[in-house]
Amino acid sequence: MGEDVVIIGAGQAAAQVAASLRQGGLHGSILMIGDEPHLPYQRPPLSKKFLIEGGAPESLALRAQSFWRDQDVRLVLGTSVGSVDVRQRRVLLHDGREICCGTLVFATGTRARALPVPGVDLPGVFSLRRIDDVRRLRPALDSARRVAIVGGGYIGLEVAAAMRSEGREVTVIETEARVMKRVTGADMSAFFEAKHRVRGVDIRLGARLTAIEERSGTLVVHASTGEPHAVDVVLVATGARANDELAAAAGLACEDGILVDEFARASAPLVYAIGDCARFPSRRYGRRLRLECVQHAIDQAKAAAAAILGAGEPYDPVPWFWSDQYDLKLQIAGIMDDHDSAEVNGDPATAAFSVEYRRAGRLIAVDAVNNARAYMLGRRRIAEETGDGAR
Ligand code: FAD
């Protein structure tokens, strides 16, 4: 047999499962295979500090090269896995190498959702998911006066805030009737929309991108409502989709994400999936969830490592997440999307307040702006109130 554990992907979840396996006493070999050329790194700064201040890719590394060497975790970087035989637990790399393993972990993350719209492949149109995206985007932004951001989710709005802080004109084009609809409730959306508008962001809600065209060095953005709009750079930030094709082609059960159980086990023996690419059952929320946030990547990786080592506990977190926009820190605990009541605590005018979301009287989520205490207490109460399932 080749390796004891092979991890496909070298991002946040991959780094954590490898580190936790060693910490938990695994003596066998661990091999991590990542298609990006960088050491495992943190992505949140890509739309925040790293976008504004730049820096070397190593500044984002989760661990130094020496850590992986000391932990005897081997990294194959800049090479993708092209196919997998889950029954034989054999992976075939695009460079032709074939590797067998005892345990296989998918930690393949997500990628920027592609928009089927004419012009999205023009020079000057970007997406933002990787260090190398920032390396292409940043020089274009440096010479841009006008930036259009397609998508008013948290990544789009973080970039809008960064661009306004640099004095660039920013237009946000959002299909939905409110910003950040996927992650937060109506009151919080209205608060953030107002904050962006006050700072000069032109937010166009209910507008769907229909085409981008190039006219004498300028990009013209067409949307379903409003006039065509001339800009220098377009960022498409319309969400992510799970990298589950490799797993699906290998015969693993997938449904917008690799289906796993509460121990991160996929539908074949000794195969696991963790992080953004995995869809897991949550008793707490009464359905399967696929989460895209750092804490989930870390915690599910720890749960998978424990399961691989034979000491697993069922994984059923209160998810949490943050976003930084201007001087506003939004912290989100839980999942609000099927709430039946929302209560605002504090005065949004002070820019330090929170919103509590309930379903059938139980607290299922809390959003807090510049209010770490409300967020911390909320998280604890959600854990208590949803501990035996939210439904
Ligand atoms: P990833 O970190 O995406 O790693 C997966 C890796 O696997 C990638 O390198 C991918 O290229 C690689 N891969 C895929 N297929 C293959 C293959 N076939 N062979 C080899 N390698 C492969 N979360 C927060 O909680 N707070 C934030 O503020 C926040 N901000 C964010 C800002 C941006 C711009 C982005 C993009 C994400 C942000 N996130 C944030 C989300 C967070 O970064 C992700 O949830 C986290 O990185 C998920 O970790 P992961 O290991 O599952 O996936």
The CATH code of the domain that includes 382 is 3.30.390.30
Say how many Å lie between the CA of residue 213 and the centre of ligand 1.
30
The residue written with tokens 């790293």 in the block is 50
pLDDT of residue 179: 98
Nearest CA to ligand 1 atom 29: 44
Q: Is the CB of 335 under 6 A from ligand 1?
A: no
- Given a cut of 70, whether residue 381 has pLDDT beyond it is yes
Q: Is the domain of 77 the same as that of 119?
A: no
Q: Is the CB of 34 under 6 A from ligand 1?
A: yes
- Give CA–CA dist 319/296, Å, rounded: 6
Q: Is the CB of 243 under 6 A from ligand 1?
A: yes
CATH number at residue 46: 3.50.50.60
Residue 165 falls in which region: left (phi positive, over 0), alpha (psi -120 to 50) or beta: alpha
Q: Is the CB of 276 under 6 A from ligand 1?
A: yes
Q: Is the domain of 287 the same as that of 343?
A: no
SS3 242: strand
Q: Is the CB of 29 under 6 A from ligand 1?
A: no
Residue 314 lies in a domain: no
Nearest CA to ligand 1 atom 12: 9
Say how many Å lie between the CA of residue 44 and the centre of ligand 1.
9
pLDDT of residue 390: 53
Q: Is the CB of 294 under 6 A from ligand 1?
A: yes
- Binned at pLDDT 50, 70 and 90, residue 337 comes out as confident
- Given a cut of 90, whether residue 387 has pLDDT beyond it is no
pLDDT in tens, 61-99: 999 999 999 999 999 999 999 999 999 999 999 999 999
Residue 317 lies in a domain: no
For the record, the structure tokens of 121 come out as 């492949």
- Given a cut of 70, whether residue 213 has pLDDT beyond it is yes
pLDDT in tens, 16-25: 999 999 999 9
Mutate to test the pocket of ligand 1, among 63, 258, 292, 323 (most ligand atoms within 8 A of CB): 292
The residue written with tokens 């207490």 in the block is 377
Q: Are 330 and 369 contacting, i.e. CB atoms less than 8 angstroms apart?
A: yes
Q: What pairing do the DSSP bridges indicate for beta strands 229-231 and 218-223?
A: antiparallel
Last residue of a domain, one of 209, 238, 267: 238
pTM here is 0.96
Residue 28 lies in a domain: yes
pLDDT in tens, 338-365: 899 999 999 999 989 999 999 999 999 9
Say how many Å lie between the CA of residue 341 and the centre of ligand 1.
32
- Give CA–CA dist 324/79, Å, rounded: 33
Count the domains in the chain.
3
Q: Are 87 and 101 contacting, i.e. CB atoms less than 8 angstroms apart?
A: no
Say how many Å lie between the CA of residue 110 and the centre of ligand 1.
6
Last residue of a domain, one of 238, 254, 283: 238
pLDDT of residue 64: 97
- Binned at pLDDT 50, 70 and 90, residue 100 comes out as very high
Residue type, 69: R
Mean pLDDT value of segment 381-388: 90
Residue 319 lies in a domain: no
| Residue 12 alpha carbon, nearest atom of ligand 1 | 51
Q: Is the CB of 168 under 6 A from ligand 1?
A: no
- Binned at pLDDT 50, 70 and 90, residue 1 comes out as low
Q: Is the domain of 269 the same as that of 186?
A: no
- Binned at pLDDT 50, 70 and 90, residue 311 comes out as confident
Quote the domain boundaries for residue 19.
Answer: 3-111+241-308
- Given a cut of 90, whether residue 237 has pLDDT beyond it is yes
Say how many Å lie between the CA of residue 362 and the centre of ligand 1.
32
What 3 state SS string does 26-94 have? CCCCEEEEECCCCCCECCHHHHCHHHHHCCCHHHHECCCHHHHHHCCEEEEECCCEEEEECCCCEEEEC
- Given a cut of 70, whether residue 30 has pLDDT beyond it is yes
Q: Is the domain of 83 the same as that of 99?
A: yes
For the record, the structure tokens of 29 come out as 């070999």
Percent above pLDDT 70 for the chain: 99
Q: Is the CB of 290 under 6 A from ligand 1?
A: no
Residue 70 lies in a domain: yes
- Give CA–CA dist 359/364, Å, rounded: 7
Last residue of a domain, one of 181, 213, 238: 238
- Binned at pLDDT 50, 70 and 90, residue 312 comes out as confident
Say how many Å lie between the CA of residue 88 and the centre of ligand 1.
27
Q: Is the CB of 128 under 6 A from ligand 1?
A: yes
Q: What is the overall mean pLDDT for the chain?
A: 96
Lowest mean pLDDT among 41-45, 52-56, 78-82, 253-257: 52-56
Q: Is the domain of 280 the same as that of 331?
A: no
pLDDT of residue 313: 87
| Residue 321 alpha carbon, nearest atom of ligand 1 | 25
Q: Is the domain of 177 the same as that of 261?
A: no
Residue 321 lies in a domain: no
pLDDT of residue 389: 64
Nearest CA to ligand 1 atom 36: 129
